[in-house]
Chain A
Amino acid sequence: MGHNHAHPEKAWQAIRTEAIESLLNEINVLTSEDVDKVVRHYEENVGPKTGARVIARAWVDPEFKTRLLADGLVACEELGIGGPETELLHVVENTPRVHNVVVCTLCSCYPWPILGLPPAWYKSSAYRSRLVREPRKVLSELGVDLPDEVEIRVWDSVSEIRYLVMPEKPDHSENLSEAEFAERITRDHMIGVARHIPQAG
């Protein structure tokens, strides 16, 4: 594998990555600025707060919610959110009888432009293989205990479709503003490994 045993302080993956980038620079395929731009965007601009903003808008604006459920990407564009990495965004709504949860069994497809980068556990073999097989058990291990009458729908992002879970709007939350809703919605709610939205901020 060409691992660099002589220099254990630097991972062979780091060495190979740097070498590939250097060759790509040299043959004018990519500049380092091209790469910097993408990395900076994902480190600084994109993250779960983007998704939280989308869901919070849907909670306060029923017409936006209808558009979001009909075509996620088009509705997100209204808020200036989007990117070339997602072809289709399917927003799936939790109800008192349905809980949705997202996985990618084959690799780690994830709605990057809406949620940023996936957490490490999302990419793990354990989550990817077990969630489909025993969703109720995995969710329970993750602190989401669902009564038997709640149906669990597991969405596998194997094609070009990306999924985003719309959690249930908390009861008695009429006093909360759109921004306050957004503060309470986490990445885990939008993947579906959390369900309850706290009333207090």
Chain B
Amino acid sequence: MQPETLSAALNQSGFENLTFSTPWSARLFGMTLAASEKRFFTLQQFQSALIGRISEKEQDGCITTDDDYYTCWLEALQGLLEEKNLWQAHQLHEREVEVVEAGEHRKEQQRHGHQAVQPEVVK
């Protein structure tokens, strides 16, 4: 990263501006802490998984944005949960398809003027 980029990034992040950059990163963070509170894994186990993922990612390039970083976080969490055999691989894929379809359905309803639209994510 160029010096001015690092400086610019620092100056952008104001004192109060510390919430999550995307709704999905907030959910990921919340899921990880909640699952560790329920002793599904320890935060140290998660940290090791995250370190591993970041190290792999940095072999291909730098982490420069919150999205890069939380993508590593997502892959680390997914890996830890899959080690527990909580679901079959195809189930996650099917659920992703359902998530997309549900989103399309909501949009369709909006196009037709339906008012009762559920928010897609909890803020």
Contacts and interface: CB of A to CB of B under 8 A. Distances in A.
Interface in B1-37: 1, 3, 5-7, 9-10, 12-13, 15-16, 18-24, 26-31, 33-37
Given A22-B95, A38-B30, A142 B10 contact: yes
Interface residues of B, number: 67
Given A17-B24, A36-B122, A123-B66, A107 B47 contact: yes
Tell me which of A35, A43, A130, A187 has the highest count of chain B C-beta atoms within 10 A of its own C-beta: A35
B122 to A, nearest CB: 6
A14 interface: yes
A43 B96 contact: no
A141 B91 CA distance: 48
A181 B67 CA distance: 35
Contacts, number: 179
Interface stretch (A3-11, A60-68, A71-79): A3-11
Nearest to A18: B99
B71 to A, nearest CB: 6
Nearest to B104: A7
Contact of B67 (A13, A116, A142, A143): A13
Contact of A24 (B35, B43, B122): B35
Chain B contact residues: helix, strand, loop or mixed: helix
Interface residues of A, number: 58
Contacts of A13: 22, 24, 67, 70-71, 74
B54 A107 contact: yes
B74 A121 contact: no
Given A29-B40, A126-B6, A23 B70 contact: no
Interface string B31-51: 101111110100110010011
B99 to A, nearest CB: 5
Contacts of A39: 20, 26-27, 29-30, 122
Contacts of B40: 29
Interface of B: 1, 3, 5-7, 9-10, 12-13, 15-16, 18-24, 26-31, 33-38, 40, 43-44, 47, 50-51, 54-55, 58, 62-67, 69-71, 74, 77-78, 81, 86-87, 91-93, 95-96, 98-100, 103-104, 120-122
* 7 nearest A-B pairs in the assembled complex, by CB-CB distance: A126-B1, A125-B62, A35-B30, A19-B95, A119-B13, A121-B9, A38-B30
